Amino acid sequence: MAAAGVNFIDIYQREGLYPMPLPYTPGLEGAGIVRSVGSGVTDFSPGDRVAWTGHLGSYAEVVALPAEKAVRVPEGLSLETAAGMMLQGLTAHYLVTSVCEIKPGDRALVHAAAGGVGLLLCQMISARGGQVIGTVSTDAKADAALAAGASHIIRYDREEVDSRVKEITDGRGVSVVYDGVGRDTFEASLRSLAPRGVLALFGQSSGPVESFDPQILNQLGSLVLTRPSLAHFTQTPEELRWRAGDVLSALAEGSLEFTLHGIYPLEDAQKAHQDLAARVTSGKLLLVM
């Protein structure tokens, strides 16, 4: 193992929001060098540089994983960058290609736009000709989201999100909201959508969304709500390789940027979780062995 990525899901699992069989080793992405392969494995050999996501146990010095979860790391890309891009990078990729395919002129609201997934969404949406309205909680995060391609910023700690979105879009609303914040943003997300808009509720960093009456989707304009997971968008090795190939090659070519918040030694994994939960990070947190 060269490095493992830290993700918000690691916190949900540790806290029990997503129940886990105990004991378990956390960590759903990483990269390293193949030490040995099983007898039926023909795609990889010892010495290959690989990265993966979707297999638990990356907070470790050595991992064993199914070969179909691994992808090759292109020449010129560091193992640390590859480790940090698998889960968040592939998530941003499926959100803009498959959940709601972004086309030129589309307007998207991205919550926590300076977070790990948020910075990647800003880049991928603007690269496809879409316009990003990003929400953030500090001025430094506003600068980071603007640098990643957001054209408007809403300080959701002090501004009313849906009324600002309506102002920015001349009263119409956005065609898609990417919401990984959950409880605190859910209602404003729905109210920010244009008729027939899509709310991709892909996380809950502020807590789970409370029960609601689906009639509100009708009242606000025949809205579509989905609650997607990366696992369902990387169901086959072919789909995983397509998404990882797009993301890792864009990084290697320089058309996609990796923003590193910080590198923590494995023994400081607790501190990494505390920083991520405390909203003080922007970009990726990595654990090195």
Ligand X SMILES: NC(=O)c1ccc[n+]([C@@H]2O[C@H](COP(=O)([O-])OP(=O)(O)OC[C@H]3O[C@@H](n4cnc5c(N)ncnc54)[C@H](OP(=O)(O)O)[C@@H]3O)[C@@H](O)[C@H]2O)c1
Amino acid at 191: R
**In this chain, which of 81, 169, 189, 205 binds ligand X, going by CB under 6 A?**
205
- Residues 144-183 binding ligand X (CB under 6 A) are 180-181
**Closer CB to ligand X, 181 or 247, in the complex:** 181
Q: Which residues inside 218-247 make contact with ligand X, applying CB under 6 A?
A: 228-230
The minimum distance between CB 41 and ligand X, in angstroms, equals 27
Q: How far is the CB of 47 from ligand X (least distance, A)?
A: 30
Q: E strands of the chain, at which residues? A: 3-6, 29-33, 49-53, 70-72, 107-110, 131-136, 152-155, 174-179, 193-201, 224-226, 260-265, 284-288
What is the rounded CA–CA span in Å between residue 194 and residue 120?
23
| Residue 232 token pair | 């369902």
Contact 288/269 with Cβ under 8 angstroms? no
Residue 109 binds ligand X (CB under 6 A): no
Q: How many CB atoms lie within 10 A of CB 19?
A: 8
x/- site string to ligand X, residues 66 to 105, per CB under 6 A? Answer: ---------------------xx--x--------------
Instruction: Tell which residue, 273, 85, 111, has the closest CA to residue 201.
Output: 111
Work out how close the CB of 218 gets to ligand X at its nearest, in angstroms, rounded to a whole number. 25
The yes or no reply on residue 137 touching ligand X (CB under 6 A) is yes
> Using CB under 6 A as the criterion, which residues of the chain lie in contact with ligand X when the complex forms?
7-9, 87-88, 91, 112, 114-118, 136-137, 141, 180-181, 184, 202-206, 228-230, 276-277, 279, 281
